Amino acid sequence: MRVVGAGLGRTGTNSLKVALEQLLGEPCYHMSEVFSRPEHPALWGAAYDGHEPDCDELFTGFAAAVDWPAAGLWSEIADAYPDSLILLSVRDPDSWWRSASATIFAAMAKALAEDPDSDWTQMAEKMLTAFTPAWRDETAAKAAFVAHYDRVRAVAPADRLLEWRPGDGWGPICERLGVAVPDEPFPHTNTTEDFQAMLGRES
């Protein structure tokens, strides 16, 4: 594992997945990977219950991990891969809330209403509760968002940490990974509108 993403969902993580797969030539783990691996929600659920993440089972074949659920346990995963870069994708808390509430939190509310007993829903509920039990509340969610980022900055070794915003593009990541900058624009994927379309909702 060469990159462990500590940035939370809706901070450009899907674009990072696409970019890292291009740069590293290997898959990057992301919440989207969980849906095609029916055994993984239980593994993540156990990790959010306090067990060590089963990194060998979860990340075999992957060169990087970004987005939830990995981001919520970034420290444990980074400890398991001590040579990895810790990539902290950042975003303004207000714009993050507007995006997250219209996408991730809307999807979670729908799952809780329609399929509360599924392994994925139970995993995601544990994940969001660990973030903050009041994840539906704007003030509480933004406070938890800021606290998460403050903790990463305080705990992650400075020589392993890279803070990155989508506008930074390829350069900082390529420099830290020691790879050439691609001769094409940085990918921009999974906008709020894209996510809502996936949910069957209009923006």
* Stated pTM of the model: 0.91
Domain boundaries, the chain: 3-199
Give residue-wise pLDDT tens across range 7-27: 999 999 999 999 999 999 999
Cβ 39 vs Cβ 2: under 8 Å: no
Give residue-wise pLDDT tens across range 136-164: 999 999 999 999 999 999 999 999 999 99
Largest CA distance in the chain: 46
Output the six-digit token pair for 180: 């050439």
> Which numeric CATH code is attached to 3-199?
3.40.50.300
Residue 188 has pLDDT above 90, yes or no: no
The dihedral formed by the CA atoms of 65, 67, 70 and 75, expressed in degrees to the nearest 10: 90
Distance of alpha carbon 56 from alpha carbon 58, whole angstroms = 6
Pairing of strands 64-65, 3-5: parallel
